[in-house]
Structure 1
Amino acid sequence: MAIDISTRTRKDLLIHLSLVISLFLAAFLGFFFVYLPWSTNHGQSITVPDLRKMNLDDVRSALDERRLDYVVSDCTFVPGVAPYTVLSQYPFPNSLVKEGRNIYLTVTMGTAPMIRMPDLIGNGLRSAQSYLRSVGLAEGTIRYIPDIAENAILEQWYNGRKIEPGTQLPKGSRIDLVVGNGIGNTELDVPSLIGLSQEEAEIYIKGSDLRVGTVLYKTVPGAKPGTVVEQRPAANSGVKVHVGEIIDIWIAGTPDNDTGEGKIEDQP
């Protein structure tokens, strides 16, 4: 049955306008105070937890409880910090957010990036220390030995072995440095090493406040394998050496098959 609303009189017109305005206001108020709050979870704010120093597995559990999610926005390497540890987050801890909000995280990398070992030999100690830090390597132990070059880097070591420039190392690796102590002016007679084993010769050299230089291998008929058959400088030649100088030695035979250390002298 149709409802006939008459607008013939002024009173009828006012009643008609009032009904239209009332319906409009009801729709307006219903949208903003009923539908919109319901559709946007108005008033249902969630406090963001502090995720810093957490592992990603723990982050997942903490956010699932609050109906939040995360996105890894950046990765970086920090020596000494476990992989996939949260370093920073946004929104910040204790912020109020809506359900389902993404929390953006910066985490540590799973593997360390590789760094080329620089050549520090001959550099001053402070310069070498600064350079190590600048390329992402760490300073290990510093050992002083007799040498006329005070505070100069004489050798660079990693994990108990001399490390050559250009060798790839994990970022954050500790590099041990051998440094001259500046007291190498004392002159010494060159020790005679011929016939000694390589180990005995190296102990003798170091015990004389000298340094082991290049170790080469050569075939010498009749010589006992593993013994010194030649040295530079030679003993009894009248040549004097200073404390901290280098003695090169040649060993009879071939390099150690187990370690692969040493190299064979090029034959003329």
Structure 2
Amino acid sequence: MTNLKKKLFRKDSLLTHVLVMVLISIVFILLLTFGLDLYTKHGNSIVVPDLRGKTLEEARAILKEADLDFEINDSTFSKTARPGTIRDVVPSPGSRVKSGRILFISINGFSPRKQTIPIYKDQSARQILALLRGLGFESVEQRVVPGGYIGSVVGLQTPDGRSVEPGAQVSIDTKLILLVSGQTVDTLGLDRLIEGYGQEGRMDSTMLPPNPNQQKRDSSVSNDWW
């Protein structure tokens, strides 16, 4: 038995090498685990403060004290919010992050965003309407005017009649009127003809418009033919 133990645990035996490798692996895993905790500051987190409604200077002071930083990634405009204040924060307020984390914020601009008016003449009204709304113009009306191909755009203007040309820089809160080519049908004469039908579906001759050829023939007949 003693000789067997000596053979198994001698320095050059396979079992000795396996045990040494297992021991080294355990030590390496423990060092790696504790090292990562120290490096990533595991368990040491900071609550993201609520910066909404605050100015950039106020936010900078708060984040500096909390060992956090920020970047502006978006700017929109709302009439209901104070210009230059923060509208949203990512990660959201109340989240827990590591110290030194960069927060992404969006602010309320000082004026409405402007967009370039696209080329619209002779284009499909449906296509231009969708394009304008996609650019952010929410108040766009359509007005039918005569001329051109039906359903095509012939002009763009503001409610006070000022023309808006392609390429112009316009605030997205501007009200626009899209002038669309079309035609209106005067149904007054048609309605009168329909009213002239009797109960049997026959038209009253008094409702028909005068026939100029018939009037000419009647006037050519002499009254003293008898």
> What range describes the TM-score normalised by the shorter chain of this pair?
0.3 to 0.5
Higher fraction of helix: 2
Higher fraction of strand: 1
- TM-score using structure 2 length: 0.46
- TM-score using structure 1 length: 0.41
